[in-house]
Amino acid sequence: MPLATDVDITPAGQRPDEDPSLAARNNGGTTPSADPSPPGRREALLVLGFGGPEGPGDVMPFLENVTRGRGIPPERLLDVAEHYQHFGGVSPINEQNRALVAAVEKECAAAGIDLPVYWGNRNWAPYVEHVWAQMADDGIEHVYVFPTSGFASWSGCRQYHEDVARARSVLTGAAPGGGPTAEKLPHYGDHPGFVQANAEALAAALAELPEELRGRARLVATAHSIPESMAAVAGPTGGAYQEELRRSARLVVDAVAPGREFDLVWQSRSGPPSVPWLEPDVNDHLQALAADGVPAVVLFPIGFVSDHVEVVWDLDNEARETAGELGMAFARAGTAGTHPAFVGMVRQLLEERRTGTPPRLGTNCPAHCCFVAPRPRPTA
């Protein structure tokens, strides 16, 4: 399948360019149909990930892909590059997504669903653009897109729609219509499979604490901070990022300790200090808890689906160190990963759409939903 020239000549490490007109396009071309999957249509599932570097030389080009045109200061990039270099320049995220794909393939096969599963990324190879061309080549006519993010916001939902639209827009030649049609699967932070995977992890983390501290430990959900301006427009009526995360965390805590108090705080803030992002930061929050005499904390990163760099660096190193300095006991719950309940959820979301369950939030987003205007790209 030939690709548009500007994509073909994209050097390794540089993401194929974005088409700014996509930002104004409803849904990025991923509107689901209300009908069930027609018999005989050749379909696939695409696990759409964030992407991450696979070696020291990949780190800076990866970071440039992620932050292109987003006004992130160079000092911040150098700082984050160091986090990646602590892991030899390799993010665990790609291996984790490969494992998820393998688990979902197995799950689908066991359920008698005969459908290929592909994997593509926004910010690193295999780029979604190239996987789209591959799927077109393989004769796929329709793709269900499962993003590795279950919540609203430009970063967590709309950008995945835009990734698909970009991938479709660069296809030429044999598939001038953009190759297979596409639909994104819905938000899943409140799905019983996601909740069960996180609840079991939270229970296990709580059990790591000395017994006498478990009852007094504060349960603290974390998610990626985003700019306040992005949070204000998340979802059809705004504020959906925090709302969905809070609901998800509530369901997880209730599955472990019904009605128990918890906090929702933010991690991994980026951007210049002059731009307000969601607060409090998890480290500041630990300070406040310590000042209140809280002796122990259990963090559960509800906003992420695997233990990637944001989790293993920002929580297992930075937040753990903060807690240590404050004399608080610390435990961190694992993410959904390849928990069977989470893998089963992916199959269920797919089956629901194939049998015509009405689209839910995250599938058929209205035009203004989560919309963040692209910044002008820096000129060379």
Ligand X SMILES: CC1=C(CCC(=O)O)c2cc3nc(cc4[nH]c(cc5[nH]c(cc1n2)c(C)c5CCC(=O)O)c(CCC(=O)O)c4C)C(CCC(=O)O)=C3C
Positions in the binding site for ligand X (CB under 6 A)? 50, 52, 63, 66-67, 70, 72, 76, 80, 91, 93, 148-149, 153, 155-156, 224, 226, 268, 270-271, 303, 308-310
Diameter of the chain by CA atoms? 66
Instruction: Tell whether 160 is in a known binding site.
Output: yes
User: Minimum Å distance from CB 208 to ligand X?
Assistant: 23
CB of 60 to ligand X, least distance (A): 11
Give the CA distances from residue 1 to residues 128, 174, 176, in Å, rounded to whole numbers and listed in that order.
Answer: 14, 7, 11
Q: What is the 3-state secondary structure (H, E, C) of the chain?
A: CCECHHHHCCCCCCCCCCCHHHHHCHHHHCCCCCCCCCCCCCEEEEEEECCCCECHHHHHHHHHHHHCCCCCCHHHHHHHHHHHHCCCCECCHHHHHHHHHHHHHHHHHHCCCCCCEEEEECCCCCEHHHHHHHHHHCCCCEEEEEECCCCCCHHHHHHHHHHHHHHHHCECCCCCCCCCEEEECCCCCCCHHHHHHHHHHHHHHHHHCCHHHHCCCEEEEEEECCEHHHHHCCCCCCCHHHHHHHHHHHHHHHHHCCCCCEEEEEECCCCCCCCCECCCEHHHHHHHHHHCCCCEEEEECCCCCCCCHHHHCHHHHHHHHHHHHCCCEEEECCCCCCCHHHHHHHHHHHHHHHCCCCCCCCCCCCCCCCCCCCCCCCCC
84 carries a ligand binding annotation: no
> Which residue lies nearer to ligand X by CB, 181 or 242?
242
Q: How far is the CB of 323 from ligand X (least distance, A)?
A: 21
**Annotated binding-site residue? 37:** no
Closest approach of ligand X to the CB of residue 303, in Å: 5
Give the nearest distance from C-beta 201 to ligand X in angstroms: 17
Tell the smallest beta-carbon distance from residue 50 to ligand X (Å): 4
Nearer to ligand X, 140 or 161 (CB): 161
Q: Which is nearer to ligand X, 181 or 338 (CB)?
A: 338
Say which residues have a Cβ less than 8 Å from residue 28's Cβ, sequence separation at least 6. Answer: 22, 158, 161, 162, 163, 164, 165, 166
Residue 359: CB minimum distance to ligand X, A: 20
Measured from the CB atom, the residue of 169 and 267 that comes closer to ligand X is: 267
Q: Which is nearer to ligand X, 57 or 210 (CB)?
A: 57
91 marked ligand binding residue: yes
CB of 90 to ligand X, least distance (A): 9
Smaller CB separation from ligand X, 170 or 226:
226
- Phi, then psi, of 79 in degrees rounded to 5: -60, -50
Tally the residues of the chain.
380
Q: Pick the closer one to ligand X by CB: 210 or 276.
A: 276
- Whichever of 182 and 245 has its CB closer to ligand X, that residue is 245
The binding site for Fe(2+) comprises 224, 310
The binding site comprises 91, 160, 224, 310
The binding site for Fe-coproporphyrin III comprises 91, 160
